[in-house]
Amino acid sequence: MLVSKEFTFDSAHYLTAYHGKCERLHGHTYKLRVTVEGAVSKEGMVVDFCELKALVGRLVVDKLDHQSLNDFFKNPSAENMVIWMWKELEKPIVKMAKGVKLYEIVLFETQNNFVTYRGK
């Protein structure tokens, strides 16, 4: 079964390897959707939403919210960001709940523009 939790955070960036409007400093209200996969436990849940919220908050959202993303990434494209997020979350999610693994990360840069990543 798949279980998802959504988060929002605000950050600014400029794309260092791009030539166009986005090479100038600008900001986004990002929406992040983290999806995990696992079996339903005896408690009737795949994962506790509160635990998932705390983990993603601590490892990703709290680090990036109201920050200049260029301080964290050489080229802070949405694609590069989700690869980093996957690396931050994959092992801690496995440790958080037995039999649960990270399935997918979706990062919305705008309401209509987003990237989806499912690991390598």
CB 107 within 8 A of CB 85: yes
Is 105 contained in some domain?
Answer: yes
Identify the pLDDT of residue 22. Answer: 87
Q: What is the mean pLDDT of residues 68-96?
A: 97
Residue 105 has pLDDT above 90, yes or no: yes
Q: Burial-class residue 56 by CB neighbours within 10 Å (0-12, 13-18, 19+).
A: buried
Is 55 contained in some domain?
Answer: no
Q: Could you tell me how far CA 41 lies from the centroid of its own chain? A: 25
Identify the pLDDT of residue 76. Answer: 97
Is 54 contained in some domain?
Answer: no
In Å, the largest CA–CA distance within the chain is: 53
What is the Cα–Cα distance from 71 to 64, expressed in whole angstroms?
A: 10
DSSP 8-state assignment for residue 57: I
Residue 100 has pLDDT above 90, yes or no: yes
Q: Range of 109's domain?
A: 2-47+62-117
Identify the pLDDT of residue 96. Answer: 92
Domain total of the chain: 1
Kindly report, residue by residue over 1-58, the tens digit of the pLDDT. Answer: 999 999 999 999 999 999 999 899 999 999 999 999 999 999 999 999 999 999 999 9
What is the Cα–Cα distance from 27 to 14, expressed in whole angstroms?
A: 9
Element (H, E) at 7: strand 2-13
Is 74 contained in some domain?
Answer: yes
Identify the pLDDT of residue 120. Answer: 80
Instruction: Find the CATH number of the domain harbouring 107.
Output: 3.30.479.10
Q: What is the pTM for the complete model shown? A: 0.95
Kindly report, residue by residue over 80-91, the tens digit of the pLDDT. Answer: 999 999 999 999
What is the Cα–Cα distance from 38 to 101, expressed in whole angstroms?
A: 7
DSSP 8-state assignment for residue 14: -
Positions annotated as catalytic residues are: 22, 66, 104
What is the Cα–Cα distance from 114 to 109, expressed in whole angstroms?
A: 6
Identify the pLDDT of residue 32. Answer: 98
Amino acid identity, position 93: I
Identify the pLDDT of residue 47. Answer: 96
